[in-house]
Structure 1
Amino acid sequence: MDHIEIELKFHISDFDDLRGRFLDLGALCIRRQTLEINARYDTGDNRLLERHCLLRLRKDVGATLTFKSPPPTAGTRFKRFRELEVGVSDFDTMEAILNALGYRRRQTYEKWRETWQAEGVTLCLDTMPFGRFLEIEGEPDAIMLMVRDLGLQWDRRILYSYLGIFEVLREKEELPFRDVTFDNFKAVSIPFERHCHRFETGGTDGR
């Protein structure tokens, strides 16, 4: 399916409190917490990255191939991107096809995701190796209404991708690895609050 995806994120300290607010608003949990293993692919000279594009193969309860690219028109209020996505039956075979086409796995990143559905929006509680986040996806008016109803501060929204956030953290904290896995972060302590100002108030990396 091909569409323009519209979303934003907030850094969250307490998921339990947020779940209570979801229930008060009549939201339904449509997928319990699930581990996602994502692999990013590119050419040897990173042509996709240079074009701010993402080619991703994800494994959770199934396998999904996704291509993301910049939209015809961007903005600073929301993160927008064009997305092509298709389910595949076999992760390993799809990776072999990508390799045969000249794409190699350049980065792996993991997250635990819990998905809720509310009127007009999808709400994702994401646990990354470097912090917890709420992602809200939907049409602009519905997103803004949900931000208000959840009592979140609009000027603390984040438009960075998770990989974009990691690249900033990697540089600032001089991290020696590129894969965003829970194992890699076991020996690393990064209080995300120390870096919030780098990402909030609509900062964006375009990825």
Structure 2
Amino acid sequence: MPLEVERKYLNVDFAALRRALCDLDARNLGAHFESNWVFDTPDARLFANGRLLRLRMQEWPGAIRHVLTLKLPAAQNERFKVREEHELEVTDATAMRAVLHGLGYVAGARYEKVREPWLFEDVAVALDTLPFAHVLELEGEAGHIERVAARLGLDKAETSTKSYHQLHQEWRCLHKLPPDLSFVFDAEQRWRCRRKLGFVEADQPGGRPGTTVKV
């Protein structure tokens, strides 16, 4: 049974973390832009039962990867988020969407992020830039996560086992905004993020063709 064991760290200094990872000879796997579509029944039965059905597109300059993921309800664990997870790489995302629609699922939410993945001592280290926050995520065996967190100086960092959906809802509530299942970059944010990753976009939104903007 494939289990996903992870813990998130909030309000982390990404620049300091990158320096620590480099000093420890961690391996940078290459940042990418992510677009995610969450599928559910029209009456949201999967969400109500703690299940997640997601089609993800990962983009690098010159490469695209699609992954279909099913996550089952999270186990009760105060220190780590533990879920059974099944993933399948998809070669034809359009056909996969047609299959999901044919089974009665609809895309009920969408979210985006920039993920900068590293590998350190068999723990997946992900620096995630979201439209509303910067979050560090460690995934691996529980004991290994604890060891890596200590080596990265995260002993006193604020931790969370909540999903990005839950963190987003809390952020919206804090800012007195209505609930929204989706969180995506606005056009300017998306352009800046993708530009930083090396994508050659046509024009800067609201600017002149070829305008260079500091990211």
Relative to the length of structure 2, the TM-score reads: 0.79
2:2 is aligned to: 3
Answer whether contact 2:114 2:128 (CA < 8 A) is retained. Answer: yes
Show the counterpart of 1:45.
43
**Deviation of residue 120 (structure 1)?**
2.2
Q: Pick one of 108, 116, 119 that aligns with 1:117.
A: 119
Larger Rg: 2
**1:36 corresponds to:** 34
* Residues 182 and 175 of structure 1: CA distance in aligned 2, closer, same or farther (over 3 Å): same
What is the aligned partner in structure 2 of residue 84 from structure 1?
86
Q: CA deviation at 1:13?
A: 4.4
User: How far apart are residue 26 of structure 1 and its match?
Assistant: 1.9
Contact 1:147 1:154 in 2 (8 A): no
Bigger shift: 41-50 or 90-99? Answer: 90-99
Q: Quick one: which of 82, 94, 97 aligns to 1:95?
A: 97
Deviation, structure 1 residue 168: 2.1
Q: Report the CA distance between 1:184 and its aligned residue.
A: 8.1
Q: Which secondary structure state, in structure 1, belongs to the residue aligned with residue 2 of structure 2?
A: strand
Write out aligned runs for 1:8-19 (5 A): 8-19=7-18
2:20 is matched with which residue? 21
CA shift for structure 1 position 171? 3.2
Following the alignment from structure 1 to structure 2, what is the Cα–Cα distance between the partners of residues 41 and 52? 13
Q: Unaligned regions of 5+ residues in structure 2, if any?
A: 59-63, 190-215
* Identical aligned residues as a percent: 37
Q: What is the CA-CA distance between 1:7 and the residue it aligns to?
A: 0.4
| Counterpart amino acid of residue 24 in structure 1 | D
Q: Give CA deviations for 1:35-69 in whole Å, capped at 9, x if unaligned.
A: 10000010011100111110000001210000001
1:9 touches 1:158 (CA, 8 Å); kept in 2? yes
Q: TM-score, length-normalised on structure 1?
A: 0.82
Kindly report the root-mean-square deviation, in angstroms, between the aligned alpha carbons of the 2 structures: 1.8
Distance 2:115 2:52 in 1: 20
| 2:142 equivalent to 1:140 | yes
**3-state DSSP of counterpart to 1:157:** strand
Deviation of the 1:154 alpha carbon: 5.1
Instruction: Please tell me whether the aligned partners of residues 129 and 185 of structure 1 are also in contact (alpha carbons under 8 angstroms).
Output: no
Distance 2:46 2:66 in 1: 21
Q: How many residues align?
A: 183
